Structure 1
Amino acid sequence: MWIFGIIVIVLLLIMAVCLSVIRFELWIKKHGKDDEVVLNIRMLYGLIRLHYELPIMKFENMKKGILIKVEKKNNIKESKDETKKTRVDKRKIDYWQTQFIKILEATDSFLIWMKKTLSHVSILKLDWSTNISAGDAAYTAIATGMVWSIKGSLVGWLSYHMGMRTAPRLFVVPVFDDKPQFSTELSCIAQISCGYAMYAGLILMVRVFKVKGGIKKWKSILFKV
C-alpha cells in the first residue's frame, strides 16, 4: 500500500508540474540616454524565479559597438547573484550568426521545431508606447509613420507565430518640438505550458540525435556559450 501511495504522489507531482506554466515578464524603457531592460521568469507556481536586468546599454562607436551590463538574480539558495559586462560589436554578431548556423546543421528541421514551439506561447499582454520628435514637423510626421509601420510588422509577426490572448495596445505620439527626442516603453507578458516546454525539449533532443555528430556539435556550442 505504501508503494502504491508513493506512486500516486509522484504521479500527482508530475501532473502538477505539467499543468504549471512558465511565465515571462519583459519591460523595456528608453528615455533619451537612459535605458532599462528587465526580464522576470517564473516557473513551478513561483517556486523558481529568475530576474535579469540590463541597467547599462551604451552605444560607444561603430568599432566598439554596444556595452551591455547584465545583472542576474534568483531565489535559488545555491546560486549567487551575478553581474556581467559584455560588448556587442560586429565580430560578436558574426560569431552568434556562425553558432546559429551550426545549430541548424546539428538539428534535424530546427526551424520547424522552433515554429511549433512558438505556436504554444501565449502573449497575455503587450503594451508599447513611443514618443518621437525629429525636430521638424514634416520629418516628425514621416518618422511617426515609419514607427507605426515597424510596430505593425513586429506585432503582425508575433500574432502569426504566437497566440494573442488580448489585443495589443500600441501608441505612437508625435512630439512637435524643435529638439529631436525619442522615448519608448514596452511591457509584455507571455507564458508557455511547462508540460509542453518539457515535451519540446524532448523533441529537440530526438532531432539532435537524428543528425550525425549532432550531440557533439551542441556540446561544443553550449560549452562556448
Structure 2
Amino acid sequence: MSEEQKKHPLEEYSENEQIAYLSILSAVCYVDKEFGDKEKHQLDVLLAQLKISDIGKAKIYSSVFNLQREDKLANLDAIQNLGNTELKYTLISDLCLFSLVDSKFTDEEYQYILGIGEILGINQEQVDAIRSIQENLDSIKDLPSNSERFRQVIKESVATLAGVGIPIGAIAASGSVFGLSAAGISSGLAFLGAGFGMLAGAVVVVPAIAIGAAYGVKKLFDILWKDNKSSDNVKYS
C-alpha cells in the first residue's frame, strides 16, 4: 500500500474540522452503552496519529458519552460544508470499522449509523453495502492476498459499491490513518484501494440505474486481474 493510499482524507483539514468528524465517529463507541478497552485503545490510536491537541481530545472524549443532538447536527453540517462529497461515505465506512473493533456490530450502532447516513443523504441500501463490505473484508483477514477467496471478496466488494453508486476510493481511504488492523481489514482495504487504482480512467462510480452495472464491474475486474497476472508472468519469465 503506497503512502498516498495510506493518507486519510481527514488529514487535509484543520483540527476543528477533524474534531467535527471525529466527534461523530467516536460517539458510535457508546451508543450500545459499552465502551470497552478495544474501543478506547482504537480511539487513542486515532487521536495520536492525527496529532489532536489536548483540548481537542477532551471535546472528542466528551462526545463519546454525551454528544447532544444539536452538536451532532452542527458537526455533520460542518462536514457537508467541506465540499468533499466522498468524505461522507468515508465517514460511514469509518463508523462501520469502529463498530467492528470489538467484533460486536450491535443494532444500536447500526441504527446510529443509519441516522448519520440519513442526515448526509446516504440511503439504507448504501449503508448496508458499506457494512457488508467491511464485514466481508474482516472475514478474509487471515487469508493470503493471492488466494482465490481473497480476490473474490475484493471483486464482489468493488461491484457492490459500484452497484449502489458509492465511490470506491472513498471506502478504500477509510481507516487508513487509524490503524484499524485490529478490525482485521487492513489488507482488504489495501487491495480495495489497488482495485480503485486499476479502475481509474475506466470506472470510478457506476450509477445504480444500470441493471448490469455490478456484473460489468466484476467482469472488468476479471480482465484487469488477468492482464495484471500475465504482465507479472512476462516480467519474471
* TM-score computed with the length of structure 1 as normaliser: 0.27
Higher helix share: 2
Structure richer in strand, relative to its length: 1
